[in-house]
Amino acid sequence: MTSLTTRDIACTRGYRDLFAGLNLSLKAGDLLRVEGPNGSGKTSLLRILAGLAQPAEGEVLWDDLVISSLDSDYRNQLLYLGHKPAIKYELTPRENLTFAGHLADFSDRQSIDAALEQLGLYGFEDILCAHLSAGQKRRVALSLLMLSQAKVWILDEPYTSLDVAAVAFLEQQFQRHLESGGILLLTSHQPVGRISGHLRSLVLPELSLQQVDV
Amino acid sequence: MNPSVSQAFMAVLKRDLMLSYRHRNELLNPLFFFVLVVMLFPLGTSPDKSLLLTMAPGVIWVAALLAAMLSLEILFRSDYEDGTLEQIILSPHPLAMLVLAKVVAHWLVTGFPMLLLAPLLGIFMYLPEQGIITLMLTLLIGTPVLSLVGAIGMALTVGLRRGGMLLSLLVLPLYIPVLIFSASTVDAQLANLGISGQVYFLCAMLVLAITLAPVAAAAALKISIE
Amino acid sequence: MKLPAIVHKFSSPQHFYGMAGKLIPWVGWACAGFMLAGLYLGLFVAPADYQQGESYRIIYIHVPAAWMSLFIYMVMAVSAGIGLIWRIKLADIIAHDSAPIGAAFTFLALVTGSLWGKPMWGAWWVWDARLTSELILLFLYLGFIALQASIEDPRNAARAGAVLALVGVVNIPIIHYSVEWWSTLHQGPTVTKFDKPSIATSMLIPLLLMAMAFHLFYVVNVLMRARVQVLKREQNSRWVKEIIDHECE
């Protein structure tokens, strides 16, 4: 049973509410795309769902248990990529992924090399990430999508800096993930194309409150 | 400790050491600072042997506190800025253990070299051989406490724009017991009095710090990344 | 650990605002009463000290102020801890508002300690064990206040402050003991040795009256500040808007 739900969560910035009374219910195979203008709380929502931020009110539940009490059991199921690079520029792609693997229990060299190759980084595995282009840096982080066993993917603007081939690869990974029963949440300014399955969309209104049930 | 936690601990430790190695030039700065501060004292007071000898343990230890504090930036700043700190926090392992790994790496590249510089500084301040050995013993036990307690302060301020001065306000009062006991240990040794009581107390502080500081720092990190 | 629902209801900001408003006048007058009684007895009625003459009378401010400085830190840390663990906003507010009051008492203890030292030692400051501990405590307060001031989001500021205050609480006995140790090593001057031998009843009573007065002063002050903070933090809720509309008529 895979379900990610929220109960009346609210988010505030300063003394103002960004959203309140938000109820989401996501099951295996669901993709939720969060849209809205800048400042509407998309990133905050994703961070709350990842457990990085606490909601001002309400709770996030994984399989009907509050994630703060689940702690590492939830984090085991989770892959989050935010705006920040999530890799160290002073390490090579291979070193970065090996480290990530030690934290997440996938560390054999072959799968790491295979992932890097799939993302068009063959030949760049041992070059310091500082010397890679913006798109290449982004692709190192996205290699985690191939390697991770996580059931919940929360991605903030995953399309940033990607060329057409990388976007295609990314959406392939999304498809694979959804078909194997995973949940995917993302924000993006462009529509998610070429994916079949249960696609839903949440539009966060700008700085006003609405009861939203998705 | 189940196998994957110790694996994660070692991975973080090795990664941080590797990163420090790639920044090895920057690591020298706190050490230069350490030596410079001690040098300033004879220049600011007088080169009189008995005066410097009396001041020696305190001066060297104050310089050690300040150098340790300056070096705290390397603990979390870079990871915070490139998002790898978030990834570490989101990993399924107890954050306190991973923080401890980072602190161990930090001490190995900051506190431990200060220990090795102690004989030089002892000579600057006319410390006799036995005094230098005692000084090194206090640095051995005390500098890890500085790294551990400093980690709490760094974790609290890493998300702030100009956290540097605030860090010193938070951390220096907490360093005072280490300063008092370490300096007085060396003083006692120079007066040929027993030092075992003070050394045990320093060890007790170290044990307390190892147990509690990583937990506090982990809690602080989770708050800072919000 | 879940708290019973009644605790949440009782500690709701709105409920607190009303209750505190009613309590403040009572506590305020009680404080004034105790203060007058304590000052009268301490400054005029209690006999002069055998050794120090009239100048000792400053203990009637210094000692209670020092007690308050520690007591308030404990309240602040416990309150912040409660706010951190059970997410009770009122606890966050009480911790936040107790800090400046605690710092003020610490400063008062330092100034009165210094004034006491002048006739005794001829110097405006001595590195006495208690004064030194109070000085370090002042910095612990300042660190807490500065940390909370530098974080914009009130909830995060409360949580960060809580971690710092709890770390501080663990450190206070260690710092106190270290400073005592340091002081005995160097046979430093003691200004504040007044509470060790048994103290005469005629001197004890005004001391206790002043202590009570200072406690009530703290309560009044924190209630007043907390009411303001509650309004500020709940400014978007309906009950606050109603109060503001009502006041502006």
Q: What is the pLDDT of residues B81-98, one digit of tens each?
A: 999 999 999 999 999 999
Among candidates A100, A126, A98, which has minimal Cα distance to A110? Answer: A98
Chain B CB contacts of C151 under 8 Å are 159-160
A12 to chain B, any CB pair closer than 8 A? The answer is no
What is the residue range of C156's domain?
Answer: 13-45+55-247
Mutate which of A13, A15, A209 to test chain C, going by most C C-beta atoms within 10 A? A15
Q: Confirm whether C5 is domain-assigned.
A: no
Q: Does residue C50 fall inside a structural domain?
A: no
End-to-end CA distance of chain A: 19
Beta-carbon separation of A82 and B86 below 8 A: yes
Dihedral angle over CA of A109, A113, A114, A120, nearest 10: 170
The C-alpha atoms of residue C112 and residue C96 are separated, in whole angstroms, by 26
Q: Is the pLDDT of residue A214 over 60?
A: no
Residue C53 DSSP label: B
Q: Which other chains touch chain B, taking contact as 3+ CB pairs less than 8 Å apart?
A: A, C
Of residues B163, B212, B219, nearest to C170 (C-beta): B212
* Whether C210 contacts C35, CB under 8 Å: yes
Total Cβ atoms within 10 A of residue C30? 15
Kindly provide the b/e burial profile for residues A166-200, where b requires at least 16 CB atoms within 10 angstroms of the residue's own CB.
Answer: bbebbbebbbebbeeebbbbbbbeeebeebeeeee
For testing the chain B interface, which of C148, C178, C186 should be mutated: the one with the most B CBs within 10 Å?
A: C178
> Which H helix or E strand runs over C78?
helix C59-86
- Work out the mean pLDDT of chain A and round it to a whole number: 85
Q: How far is CA B200 from CA B129, B196, B203, C171, C185, in A?
A: 22, 6, 5, 18, 17
Q: Are B49 and B56 a contacting pair, CB within 8 Å?
A: no
pLDDT class for C193, splitting at 50, 70, 90?
Answer: low
CA distance C97 to B138: 40
CB contact under 8 A, B173 and C156: no
Q: Spell out the SS3 assignment of chain A.
A: CCEEEEEEEEEEECCEEEEEEEECEEECCEEEEEECCCCCCHHHHHHHHHCCCCCCEEEEEECCEEHHHHCHHHHCCEEEECCCCCCCCCCCHHHHHHHHHHHHCCCCHHHHHHHHHHCCCCCCCCCCHHHCCHHHHHHHHHHHHHHCCCCEEEEECCCCCCCHHHHHHHHHHHHHHHHCCCEEEEECCCCCCCCCCEEEEEECCCCCCCCEEC
Cα–Cα distance, C78 to B182 (Å, whole number): 31
Residue for token pair 């307690």: B149
Q: What is the mean pLDDT of each run of 10 residues along chain B (226 residues)?
A: 79 96 92 96 93 95 96 94 95 95 97 96 95 96 97 96 90 96 95 93 97 97 93
Of B44, B195, B135, B68, the residue nearest B52 (C-alpha): B44
Selection from A55, A60, A47 nearest residue A11 by Cα: A55
Contact yes or no for A113/A94 (Cβ under 8 A): yes
Q: Do B169 and C142 touch (CB under 8 A)?
A: yes
* Cα B224 to Cα A56, B161, B198, C208, distances in angstroms: 16, 12, 36, 43
Asked, for residue C232, whether it belongs to a domain, the answer is yes
Give the model's pLDDT for residue A210: 40
Q: Measured between CA atoms, how close is B34 to chain A, in angstroms? A: 27
Q: How far apart are CA B126 and CA B41, in angstroms?
A: 13
Average pLDDT, rounded, for chain C: 89
Residue C6 maps to a domain = no
Our count of domains for chain C comes to 1
- CB-based contacts of B32, cutoff 8 Å, min separation 6: none
Rounded Cα distance between B177 and B148, Å, is 14
Contacts of C246 (CB under 8 A, 6+ apart): none
Per-residue pLDDT band at C227 (split at 50, 70, 90): very high
Interface of A with B in 23-52 (CB under 8 A): 47, 50-52
- Using CA atoms, how far apart are residues A12 and A102, in angstroms rounded to an integer? 35
Inter-chain CB proximity C166 and B216 less than 8 Å: yes
- Number of B/C CB contacts below 8 angstroms equals 67
- How far C233 CA lies from chain A's nearest CA (Å)? 7
Tokens for B25, please give them: 């030039």
* A100 contact residues in B (CB cutoff 8 A): 87
Contacts of B153 (CB under 8 A, 6+ apart): B72, B167, B170, B171, B174
Q: Which residue has the tokens 């705290």?
A: B72
The answer to whether residue C171 sits within a structural domain is: yes
Helix (H) or strand (E) segment spanning residue C187: none
Q: How far is C87 from chain A (nearest CA, A)?
A: 10
Nearest to residue A40, comparing CAs of A61, A20, A60, A67?
A20
Categorize the per-residue pLDDT at C47 as very low, low, confident or very high, splitting at 50, 70 and 90.
Answer: confident
Contact state of B226 with A53 under an 8 Å Cβ cutoff: yes
Q: What pLDDT score was predicted for residue B85?
A: 96
Q: Is residue C3 part of a domain?
A: no
Dihedrals φ, ψ of A58, to 5°? 85, 180
* Contact between B88 and B221 (Cβ < 8 Å): no
Instruction: Decide: B40 and B55 in contact? Cβ < 8 Å.
Output: no
The ipTM assigned to this model is: 0.92
Q: Give the model confidence (pLDDT) of B115-162 as tens digits.
A: 999 999 999 999 999 999 999 999 999 999 999 999 999 999 999 988
Cβ(B217)–Cβ(B155) below 8 Å: yes
Task: State residue C191's pLDDT score.
Answer: 57
- pLDDT tens digits for A152-210? 999 999 988 888 888 888 888 999 998 898 999 999 887 776 666 667 777 776 433 34
Q: Is the pLDDT of residue A135 over 80?
A: yes
Q: Do B170 and C164 touch (CB under 8 A)?
A: yes
Cross-chain Cβ contact C147/B216 below 8 Å: no
In this predicted structure, the answer to whether residue C60 has a pLDDT above a threshold of 80 is: yes
Contact state of B160 with C139 under an 8 Å Cβ cutoff: no
Compute the half-sphere exposure of residue B163: CA atoms within 13 Å on the CB side of its CA.
23
Residue A106 touches partner B, C-beta closer than 8 Å: no
Alpha-carbon separation of residue A210 from A9, A17, A23, A44, A53 (angstroms): 12, 11, 11, 17, 21
Phi, psi of A201 (to 5 degrees): -135, 140
pLDDT at A207: 38
* Tokens of residue C120, six digits: 């005794």
Residue B73 phi, psi (nearest 5): -50, -35
B226 → closest Cβ in C142, C156, C171: C156
Size of interface A-B (CB pairs under 8 A): 71
CA C29 to chain centre: 19
Q: Are strands A183-187 and A152-156 parallel, antiparallel or unpaired?
A: parallel
Residue C1 forms part of a structural domain: no
Which residue of C92, C150, C184 to mutate against B (max B Cβ within 10 Å)? C150
What Å distances lie between residue A20 and A40, B40, B225, CA to CA?
Answer: 12, 59, 22
CB atoms within 10 A of CB A163: 11
B90 with A102: Cβ contact below 8 A = no
Can you give the pLDDT at residue B42? 94
